[in-house]
Structure formats: C-alpha cells, structure tokens
Structure 1
Amino acid sequence: MLIAAFQVPAALAVVSALFTAALAQRLEPQINTWNSTFELTAEHIAAAGLTPGLAQSINVAVRFEQTNWATGSVLADPFYTSLPGNASNAPAGSLLKLEAYTDVSTYTIAPALALSRFVYQSRTFNGTLVPVSAYILWPYLPRGGASQAPVVVWGHGTSGIYAECAPSHVRNLWNQFTAPYTLALAGYAVVAPDYAGLGVPFYPNGDLIVHPYGLSPAHGNDLLYAAQAAKAAFPSRLTRDFVVMGHSQGGGAAWAAAEQQVKLKLPGYLGTIALAPTTDGLGLARTVGLVGVASIQVANAIISVFPNVSFSDILTPLGLASNQLLEQVQGCNSAYNALALPLLFSGAVLSQPEFEDGYYINRWQNISLTGGKDFQGPLLVLHGTADGSIPESFTSDAVEATCKRYPRNQLHYVRAQNVGHTSILYATQQLWMDWLDDRFGLGHSSAEARSEDSSHASSQTAARKRCTVSAVGTDTPRPLSQYQSELSYYLMLSQDIYTIA
C-alpha cells in the first residue's frame, strides 16, 4: 500500500488521538529486550528540524527495528553486498548466489520450519537487470506427501523503502503468521522476494538500487523471476508449479504478476491470490489527502523511472529533509510512521503543490495501476469491507474494470464483511488455503476446478463462471463486533526461559 502501515479512516482527528496514545504506550525504550543503542545525531535533528519529542519517537522506532534484525545490517552482511561475477549479465530468473542452510537461531520463525536465502536476477520496470534477495521458508512435511514441496511465491506488504527493510533479515520475516508461517506449516514452500532495493543495496557496478515503491509491475517481475531462481536452486525439492500470493503492496504485486505473465509466460504458473491489494496507490493518497506524506516514500522511485525529475521538483525543503533523514538512518515502517504521522497532523507541506497534479505524477499513476488489464488466471482477490488502509471500494472498482474488459478471464472476488487490512489474511485463511490445494491438485474439489478449465466445458458455461463476486461473514457464529479486528502483538526473540509462553 502507498501509505505504509498506518490506517486512513475518515476522521483523521480520531487517528491523531489514537496515535498520541500509541506513542505514549508503545514507543518507550525497553532496554531489557532491545539490543540497539541507536541515537539520532545533533546534525540529524537540526537538518530535519525535529522537536525533542519527535526525535525521541524516531530513536525508539529505529531501535525497535534494529533489534529485530536477525543478521545485523544488510550493509555489513556479505550475503547482500557481495555479488558474483555474472550478476551484471545473467538472464532474469537466474540464480546468482545461494545460502542453502540459514542459521535460524536469531530468527523467530515457527518451530519445525527451516530457512534458506538466495540472490537472483530480476528486471526493473524499465527492463534493466537487477539483483534481488529472497528467502525460502521450508516445511517439515511437504503438502501432499511428495518429496517436492509445492511453491507459493509470497509478496509481502509494505516494510519500507530502503535496503535495511528487507524481510529476509528481519527476525519474523516481516509477515510471520499472517501468511508465510501458516503456509509453510501447512506444507508449502514459501519463496519470498525482498523486492528490488530491499536487501541487496547495490548493482554490480556499485550504483544504488532504488526500491520502486508502489510500482506494482516491477514488484510483479520480482515475484515471477523468484520462482524460476528458487527452482534452479533446489530442483529436486521444489515443484516447478507455483502460485503467486501477496498482501497490500504484495497484493498489488501479485495481481501485477498475473498481468506480466501474459507476456512472460513463465512455465509452472498456476494462478494468483491478491489480498487487500494496492491497485491505485496514488489515487488512494489523493482521495484521503495524503499525497504529501506519500511523496516521501515514492520520490526516490519516481526519479528512478523519470531521471530528469529532481527531488526538489517533488518535495518541499521539509519533505526533502524528511526523506533524507529516513534514508540516512535507513528507517523502515516504524520510523516512517513515527516521523510522518506527526508531520501529517501538524499540517506540514511536504510535496510541491505543482507536482501533486503534474505531468510526471500522473504518468507514475498510470504505469503503477493494477487492474483493468489482461491477466493470466485464475485470479482470486479478497478484501475486507472494514479495511482502513486501502478502502475496499478501490479493489471493487479494479475488479469491475477488469471483468468488464476481460469477462472470460477467470477471476473470483471475495468481500469479507467487517474485516480489516491485515485480518483479511486470517479471516479468509480457509478460502485461500482450499484454493491453493485445488490449484496444486491436492484438494477435494480439485477435479471440479480442473473441469472448469477443460476444453470440453461449453464456452457459455465457462463464460458465466469466469468473473464472479461473493461475500463471506454474513452469518458468523458471533456478532461481527465481537471479533478481534487487527493484530495486537508482535514476535520478539526469547532469550530468557520465563518469557516462553
């Protein structure tokens, strides 16, 4: 999603109050569990014009992030910084380097799971070859009982825009039980790219790799090529067949992968699951009046695509100072929210008014849109009606536009009543798990699913079934108001026996 991980409800004043309370409760240093001593310098504080309170909030947020690094800084980890000689010219989808056995003792992955990391070749939106890091989360027992584990390529939600924001070096792999752990515990091998610019920091020639945040077609390339490279790394342990799945930013990436697959036609592709996807991030930012805050995140990406645009074209001096501060400290979601939300509620102007509806930002919106385009199905889309980060109406509009233009493509849209942005993964877990089983031929209804793809089915019947919409949550065992709305916990490494629940 375009506005990081915080919610965008109708009444910003309510969020302001909640945010103030959250800062008081959550952004207090916990020295007994945090192993970071990060401190903003006087130069940082002066350059960004930070108040003492805001500086302390950012300090706490960055300490929290750094404490959750499993492998230290990516900038000091040869796995990310040392590339092989063929990294400049190996074809997209090539395996560049492999860490077959990753030490999981510093991660907080679930029991009975194992981890590998690898670097592979992908392509940017402009077609440039780019090295990308990824992890594979291994099941103990492959689903279906075969020696090869079926592959789900996972597209993560917004973690940040800098190299240190790579899920592969975060203790809980960023999304923990929302999907990766759940999938692997169910017997699927989870192949999870960090996305270009997250993890591997530099091209082979030493140039910085910019994360093209919000540019879903580029993220879609990363997902598809990761499947190829993972299979090359473990040909006897992973299936060639794979499903692409993602949430939020990763949901848009997964949908875009289905669109990219129309021309790439990579072998083994079985379909896509997109949950709470970003379909029009800039449109969302405009709708809720957050273009300025969003510009801090996308300025680097816009310039990477349109090099004749400068930072001063996009950002005001305050916006530029905020952008530079986050880059200098490699601040990810927590740090971004700690900085951006107070600026938002103070009414600070972060982006140049003439840029907010100018030529380049409109071009950016057009190339980053997902939906309304041809795609290779089947495509399962799920979204909660109580999503405060990406309103369900954006996905509904994208589905409607897609089905109108491509009514014979296989797309099923599920609206989950009173379900939020992250909780969509939990509320609909049975649905997407059954869908995965069907695609891999492991489920009870796999024969029925395959019959819909059969050439023997009448075209009229197939057309009626191609684009469908349904709803869940209309008859829950308990009133909808009684269900936990979103995550209220995080995972931390346990080093003391009394902390084990």
Structure 2
Amino acid sequence: MLARLLFSSLLIASQIRAQHITFLQTQNDTWNSTFELTSQQLVNVNFSDTQATNLEIAVNFERSNWALGSATQDDFYKAPANTSSLPAGSVIKVQYFVNTTSFALPPNTALSRLSYTTKNLLNDTIPASAYILWPYLPLTYPNLSSPRPGTNSSKFPVVAWAHGSSGVFAECGPSNLRNLESQYSAPYELALSGYVVIGPDYQGLGTNQSFDGSEIAHPYLVGSAAADDLFYAVQAAQSAFAARLSKEFVIMGHSQGGSAAWASAIRQHNTPVDGYLGSIAASPSTNLSGLITALGQALPPLLPMLGTQAIKALQPNFNISRLLTAEGQSRYQLAKDISMCNSAAGELLADFPTSDRGALLHPNWTTVPEVADFFGATAGPGTLPISGPLLVLQGTSDLVVPYQFTDAAVAQTCAINNGRGVHYAKFAGVTHVPVLYASRRIWLDFLTNRFSTVGNVTTSRTCVTVNHTSLPFPVENYQRELGHRLELNTQSYQQGRLGF
C-alpha cells in the first residue's frame, strides 16, 4: 500500500513538472564577457596576434568571475562625500542580504557586503570594502561577549580572512567575485565549520576611489596596511551586526594575507585591541627584499610590476619611469586601464622571460629610494615583537614562499619574543596554496582552542616547531595542486538532482 502511494505521488509530481518543462542549455563553454583590446592598446604594447588573443582570453576569464558586474560601475563601492569625516572603523554602508544566485557559494551560506573606513599608509582615512559570510548554524562558545556592552548578542565567533594576492586594481576585490577569490581554501571551510567570516578586499581593491574621487592605490604586500584593513573591517562589522557577532575574533590569512595576519600580531603588540585572540599565517611573505635578492635573475617580472601600485600608495607622486622602462610603462598602463588581475597580468608579461627583466625594469631598480622605502614598508614579520599566539603554516615544497624564509622569520620572532608566542607547523612536500588543505585540522583546532579559552587566564606558549609528514601514504600519492575551479550552476542536470 505504501509503495503504491509513493508511486502515485511521484507520478503526479512528474506530471505537474512536465507542464513547466523548459529547454535545457548545454553547459557553458564560453564566458559572459566579450572584452577585446582596442587597436590603440595593441599599438601601445606592440603585441603579436597570439599575445593579444591570449591576453583577451585571460581577461574574459577574469571578468566572467564577476558576480555583479564591474566593481567600477557598482554604486556599493562608491563612498559618499559626506562620510569623509568618519573615523577609521566606521560603517559607510551595509548590504545586509546580497543575492547569492550570482555567487558560487556553498549551500546554506548567506552573504553580506560592508563599506567601511580604514587608514592608508599616509594615515589618511579612506573607504574600503569587505564581505561577510554567514554559516547556517554558527558555533557557540559559552564565554563569548558582545561587541557592545548591554547588547543582547548571539555572540557568533568571528574570523577575519586575509586573502592572498588577487591583483592590485579595483576589479580584484574578492567581494565582487563569484567564489570570493579564496573559496574552499579557507573562507568556505570556515563558514561551513560555523564561523562568521569577515573578508576585507584590502584598500584599493573593490573600492578604489576616496571620498573626493582620488585614486586609492593598493599597497601590495605591505602587511601593516592590510592589518589595519582587517582590524577596522572587524570593528565596522561588529558595529553593523552588534546583535550577531562576538567581540572576540581571530585573524587568518594566506600568502599576501599570511603577511597581513603576521602583521596583525605585530599591530596587536603595539596597539592592543580588546577581543583579539590570535592570528594564523599560512605561507606568509616575510622578507621581500631578501627574496628578490635570492631569486636574482629568476625573479618573475610580475612582482615589481604589481609593486608599482604599492610604491604609489607610499609616494602618490612617484614617477613610474624611474622604475619601469618605456615598454614596462606601457604594459603597466594597459594593466591599469583595464583593471586586470592575476590571471591576465601573467599573460601581459608572458613574452618576457625572467632573464630579460631589463626590457621592463631599469638596471639597479632596487636602489631607487622609493623602492627601498617599499621594501622597508613590507618588512615587519620576523623583525618585530608580536602578541601571541601566532600559528604559522608552511609547506616545504612551496616555490612562491620558500620555507627557508619562513624558518628564519619564525626563529627571529621567537628570539625577539623571548622564546614565546609562535607555533610553527611545517608540511613536508606541500606547496603554496595546498598548505591550507593539508593543515585544515590544525587550524580548526587552533580556532577551537582560542574561542574555548575566552575568559580564562592564558599566556603565550613557548615557541615550538612541528614537522608534519603525509599519512597514511607517501606524499607523492597525494594530489599536489588545486585540480578544480568553481563554476556557477545554471542547469538542473549540472546539479545531478533526483526528482524527489
């Protein structure tokens, strides 16, 4: 009897659905962007047909990941002039509920976007942007407190996520990308594990104009600026969502964001913020000038090209001709004009082998005073005391951030901190981004520990280094790099759903 009822209900449901069937479309094998270089742009950069085609493909790839269109055309990223007097950490505007159908998010996660104020390297207050990722069932910890005394807060635990290099122009802000740039490497995993994730774009990304319309240059790899963005984004989010967020928070980041997380521990030592519980720095950039010296002729030309924006953040009137050749200037100007990000920037310089940097950079470019200032601004991790605990994650097969530099920065920090404050976890045979996947259990345990001990008297633990190897198989049996990218599901068959 039950079987007949079930069959009958399915039959009726199928008949109802049949009345509303529409034609399916094939899985998209193109992109929703049709960018083409102009004839003048082609003349300016002297591209071959192959180079031009490759760059157009890369730009269209990037633009097809825009969730809501160009950031430069989105009013959300424009700060009203009448908000210029707000102090750093203030809310400018909030999109409480962003339509997630244009984002490639995990099911049962919600998204907000936040415009707020931060400080630039010249100590001016400027606007910035961030996203907030909400779990369906947030974790609960008994001793978490409200960001505002007297507020009836649900006290959901907060993790501020510092993303890795995404680019240096407006369109590279994660809050306008379908997969929020870092996807399952951390922010999605954090939300699915029950944490509210606050993800700043960083100043100059997403929001790239100040209150008066002037350009905000992104201070690429300057950890102290990103640390300000993280703390002020948390402060603004806690103000906007005082009834939902805890005062307590942890900062976590990878690569460029790893440097930002480490710089946050330094910032906390110098300017303590109530509620800060610690930082997690994965594959952190720690010694840029030393890395450039060590790489020598093997230095990727993309690095100084991106660094040009950071120099402009430090010295707005810097003449880039002192750093870049005429060819380098034309490539940089094209990158800026079309707001290209990492994928396209790589194609922009694909015809320049590392051994031919002279085509883009002047000889002895590292001795230009403004460049030296930039190197000085990126210093910090490994040279200054921190407020612990700091969890550092590093793969020994990382070619972007060689582990020897992280080893040295950890050792120096422990010496400065009298042997306390750093837990260093190394992963044999693991590369740059995959270290976040290999170490997932460890950083989730760290978060549990930090939020569970709120209210208890704790001291920074003795520095320790733990070497991890793959279990139960040798590392060569494991997937080495990311083998996937997220795609927006638009057709029912892509979701593999049954009819009931």
Question: Does the pair score TM above 0.5?
Answer: yes
Name the residue aligned to 2:92. Answer: 96
In structure 2, what is the Cα distance between the partners aligned to 1:247 and 1:390?
A: 11
Shift of 1:291: 6.5
In structure 1, what is the Cα distance between the partners aligned to 2:407 and 2:220?
A: 23
Shift of 1:82: 4.2
In structure 2, what is the Cα distance between the partners aligned to 1:127 and 1:215?
A: 14
Name the residue aligned to 1:207. Answer: 214
Do structure 1's residue 356 and structure 2's residue 366 form an aligned pair? yes
Q: Give the SS at the match of 2:471.
A: coil
TM-score normalised per structure 1: 0.87
Q: Which amino acid aligns with 1:299?
A: T
Q: Give the SS at the match of 1:130.
A: strand
Name the residue aligned to 2:113. Answer: 117
In structure 1, what is the Cα distance between the partners aligned to 2:353 and 2:174?
A: 27
How many percent identity over aligned positions?
39
Q: Which amino acid aligns with 2:114?
A: F
TM-score normalised per structure 2: 0.88
Counting only pairs closer than 5 Å after superposition, residues 333-352 of structure 1 correspond to structure 2 as: 333-344=342-353, 347-348=356-357, 349-352=359-362
Q: Give the SS at the match of 2:365.
A: coil
In structure 1, what is the Cα distance between the partners aligned to 2:107 and 2:317?
A: 50
CA deviation profile, 1:175-200 (whole Å, cap 9, x unmatched): 00000000001100000000000011
Distance 1:373 1:188, change over 3 A: same
Which 10-residue stretch deviates more, 257-266 or 234-243? 257-266
Count of aligned positions: 455
Q: Give the SS at the match of 2:94.
A: strand
In structure 2, what is the Cα distance between the partners aligned to 1:171 and 1:308?
A: 35
Which 10-residue stretch deviates more, 31-40 or 372-381? 31-40
CA deviation profile, 1:92-141 (whole Å, cap 9, x unmatched): 11111110111101000000100000011111122111111000000101
Judge conservation of contact 1:142–1:148 (CA < 8 Å) in 2: no
Shift of 1:344: 2.8
CA deviation profile, 1:264-298 (whole Å, cap 9, x unmatched): 21221000000001112343233223264322111
Judge conservation of contact 2:169–2:340 (CA < 8 Å) in 1: yes
CA deviation profile, 1:19-61 (whole Å, cap 9, x unmatched): xxxxxxxxxxx97341101111111111011111111111000
In structure 2, what is the Cα distance between the partners aligned to 1:286 and 1:488?
A: 32
In structure 2, what is the Cα distance between the partners aligned to 1:344 and 1:234?
A: 49
Do structure 1's residue 232 and structure 2's residue 227 form an aligned pair? no
Shift of 1:496: 1.8
| Unmatched tracts of structure 1, length 5 or more | 1-29, 454-461
Give the one of 370, 375, 398 matched to 1:387.
398
In structure 1, what is the Cα distance between the partners aligned to 2:161 and 2:129?
A: 13
Name the residue aligned to 1:488. Answer: 483
Do structure 1's residue 277 and structure 2's residue 284 form an aligned pair? yes
Which 4+ stretches in 1 moved above 4 angstroms?
Answer: 449-452
Judge conservation of contact 2:158–2:249 (CA < 8 Å) in 1: yes
In structure 2, what is the Cα distance between the partners aligned to 1:61 and 1:385?
A: 30
Do structure 1's residue 296 and structure 2's residue 291 form an aligned pair? no
In structure 2, what is the Cα distance between the partners aligned to 1:50 and 1:346?
A: 20
Give the one of 153, 169, 180 matched to 2:160.
153
Do structure 1's residue 127 and structure 2's residue 123 form an aligned pair? yes
Q: Which amino acid aligns with 1:317?
A: A
Backbone CA RMSD of aligned residues: 1.9
Which 10-residue stretch deviates more, 293-302 or 229-238? 293-302
In structure 1, what is the Cα distance between the partners aligned to 2:141 and 2:491?
A: 37
Judge conservation of contact 1:241–1:268 (CA < 8 Å) in 2: yes
CA deviation profile, 1:289-313 (whole Å, cap 9, x unmatched): 3264322111122133124531100
Shift of 1:238: 0.6
Q: Give the SS at the match of 2:352.
A: helix
